[in-house]
Amino acid sequence: MKGTINVSEPALASILGLAAHEVPGVVGMSPVGLKEGLSRILGKREASEGVVVKPDPARPGAYEADLYVVVAFGVNIPAVAESIRERAQWAAKELAGKELSAVRVHVTGVSRGAE
């Protein structure tokens, strides 16, 4: 008997956040909103921090993703952003079985060291 597997949006966001951390030049993720900012202040972090995933209204079954990252000083920001985009596309498809119709990388900061 075959069943269905459903990967939730929060789980997909965690996968994308972890994938972004694997890209050389990424120092960390940036809180998206007030709730994430408060969680960080309180010392609570999640793999999905800095990732917003939502269904693509124009393409049923596909998702759009926004990743908010902090990169290391001295890296080629466009190259790092492209690597993040490619890694997110790969992780969504290969690890979660989901299609990303859009991946937007927002570089919110530059850092000299680990977060």
pLDDT at 1 over 70: no
Identify the bridge partners of residue 100 per DSSP, sorted by sequence position: 63
Q: What is the pLDDT of residues 2-41, one digit of tens each?
A: 888 889 999 999 999 999 999 999 998 887 765 555 455 4
Domains of the chain with CATH codes? 9-111 (3.30.70.1350)
Report residue 14 as tokens: 């965690």
**Confidence at residue 43, expressed as pLDDT on a 0 to 100 scale:** 53
Looking at residue 115, its pLDDT comes to 44
Which two three-digit tokens encode residue 91? 């992780």
pLDDT for 56-84, tens place per residue?
Answer: 999 999 999 999 999 999 999 999 999 99
Cα 38 from Cα 79, distance rounded (Å): 31
Q: How far apart are CA 69 and CA 32, in angstroms?
A: 10
